[in-house]
Amino acid sequence: MSQYSKAVDDFAIGIDLGSSKTSVGIFRNGRVEMIPDEGENAIPSCVAFTDHTVLVGQAARSQAISNPRDTIADPVRWLGWSLKDIDLQRKLALLPFDIVSARTEALIKVRYRKQDICLRPLEIVAVILAHVKRIAENYLQGKVSGAVITFSSGMSLSQREMVKAAASVANLQLWAMLSDSTACIIAHEYITSSIGSQKDRTVMAINVGSARTDITLAGIDGDYIDERAVADHTDDLGGDFFVRRVVNHIAKATPRLAALNTFDNPRVLRQLQAACKTAMHDLSFRTSTTIHLNSFLGGRDLDVPISRGDFEEICSDLPKLLLDRVQRALADADLDKSRIDEVILAGGASRIPMVQVAVSDFFNGKPFSKLSNVDEAATYGASVFASLFSLKPEARLDRMKCLLLLDVYPHSLSVAAEGNGVVERVVVRNTVVPLRKSHLLSNVENNQKWFTFALYEGERRRPKDNQLVGTISLPITPAPKDQTSVIIEIHVNGRHGETLKVTAQERGSRIPYEMKFIWAQQTSEEEISRMIESARRFEHDLLEQECIKARNALEKYVQGAREFIEHIDRHPSYRPAKALLQSTTTWIKETDAETRQYQAQLENMRAFFGKLLDLGDDM
């Protein structure tokens, strides 16, 4: 239990912070409960800004076509990006909203309350996390102190620090971070009652989400889940990649769309993306469908038929790219595919038939395990894992007390002295953590007084092709080239807490210099305080919307109950029911209540009228 000693007497929730949608769950009373928002378990990862308010989730997505430039979908995807990044430059044409340059990262420009504002992607992610925390507290009628959040294993160190900062801005303690596919393994092991069993197995989980494909290869022995390799696709290979292929094809192959130059029209682009996504979902269950654009141009509809065969031809190379990641994970773990005892397929895009066929064929027809709801598998696993961090009896899972999750570090870490065009590898990807590595670098010039080197994350040889983590400059004793050595130490604790510490000192010196990482200023206490203060303007809007929704729900129930009692006017319960409705209606009109007061009134109404409904034939 020492690994998870920070448990508190509040609820700890599990959050799958996805690019397309976010979902939240709680382990309570012996099972995982998915927490709905507006009746749906999947909350669109979408925030919209208007002249009057800010919208989150389904409310934001519902108006995306009419408000494309100020509706931000997938903010997680843009964490830590800079306009200097070539990958981002390639994607700009497909974005209906505006991205502007700042000194260290790309900002998203929106119009809010009739003013243009620029927001960091993590500020928009924080709005989603605050919304999720709020709906969880309303659902649980209790305080949520923290969460286990899932992420793509391909996230860079910088991006993970941004998620931590977003959680802080949302006043949410981040207890742990799990990769999507590792969370799926935990879910599978819990559902199949395998946690604590002594059967030694090797399992691979492939989570094909909307933005990425995330893979974990793990050995499982009793209470140990030993990650041996993780991999994801760095080119955004997920369901949205398939959608983009269809969008590009339809936009060019359909004369009416080609004449419009679809990619220069945000409203049409949003509409086409939504229609293609719906069609792709349909083709997972049907052999043909229609891409339908309602009131597309001049009030006329546009229908483009597409078959499953067309879709598979347009996306024919994508399953191979997915399997390349599978092969990389096997190679990193030094395992042949025949050694895999079980394959778990999860994520919304795992429903695509050509993905299922490709995975099954790769493993020589081995049947793969599918959880009952592939969309919620990561949330389920995160919720089970979060039970370790709550002391509430109803939210604890005794079977998890002895679970030990052994991590690997998903990326390589390399160093390069200033002026050196090639990096030197220090930590190889998928090395077990915690780890501590030392490395020597020598002065690159004669009589050099200062030595500067940089740390990079990634698998490429040239520094510029990797992610910069940070730099150090330290004084050294002047000497001929290659005669002064600098000792570099890299210490990685894991992916659940403080993850990285890098120091350097001249050999023979007792004075170490610690690296400041590039995200240090972006996630400093001062910057987080600024963002918390800035977020209060959104918080007021969201609280007001919640209150309106709660009042509307109560009024709707009162109206339905009033119609119901007209049919029981001779029953003894008629008079007390009518009196309750009258008093509740008066209370609504005369009271400026808060959200929880409206919710409490609604629960009282449901309890009273629920008993009437239970009387059945006596009514």
**Stretch 336-358: mean pLDDT:** 95
- Structural domains for the chain: 2-183+373-403 (3.30.420.40), 408-520 (2.60.34.10), 526-618 (1.20.1270.10)
Q: What is the pLDDT of residues 455-466, one digit of tens each?
A: 999 999 999 889
What does the pLDDT look like over 46-75, one tens digit per residue? 999 999 889 999 999 999 888 989 999 889
User: Other C-beta atoms within 10 Å of 90: how many?
Assistant: 9
Mean pLDDT of all residues in 482-503: 77
Does residue 603 or residue 494 have the better pLDDT? Answer: 603
pLDDT category of residue 2 using cuts at 50, 70 and 90? very low
pLDDT for residue 295: 78
Q: Which residues contact 131 (CB under 8 A, 6 or more apart)?
A: 37, 43, 56, 57, 542
Residues 68-84 have a mean pLDDT of: 86
The yes-or-no verdict on residue 94 having pLDDT over 80 is no
pLDDT at residue number 589: 87
The residue that leads in pLDDT, 381 or 499, is 381
Which residue type, as a one-letter code, is found at position 43?
I
What confidence tier does 399 reach under pLDDT thresholds 50, 70, 90? low
Higher pLDDT residue, 390 or 186?
A: 186
Give me the chain's average pLDDT, please: 87
Give residue 250's pLDDT. Answer: 94
The pLDDT assigned to 614 comes to 60
Q: Report whether pLDDT(496) > 70.
A: no
The angle formed by the CA atoms of residues 557, 563 and 565, to the nearest 5 degrees, is: 100
pTM strictly above 0.75: yes
Residue 329 has pLDDT above 80, yes or no: yes
Residue pair 75/45 in contact (Cβ under 8 Å)? The answer is: yes
Mean pLDDT over residues 20-25, rounded? 94
3-state secondary structure 119-151: ECHHHHHHHHHHHHHHHHHHHHCCCEEEEEEEE
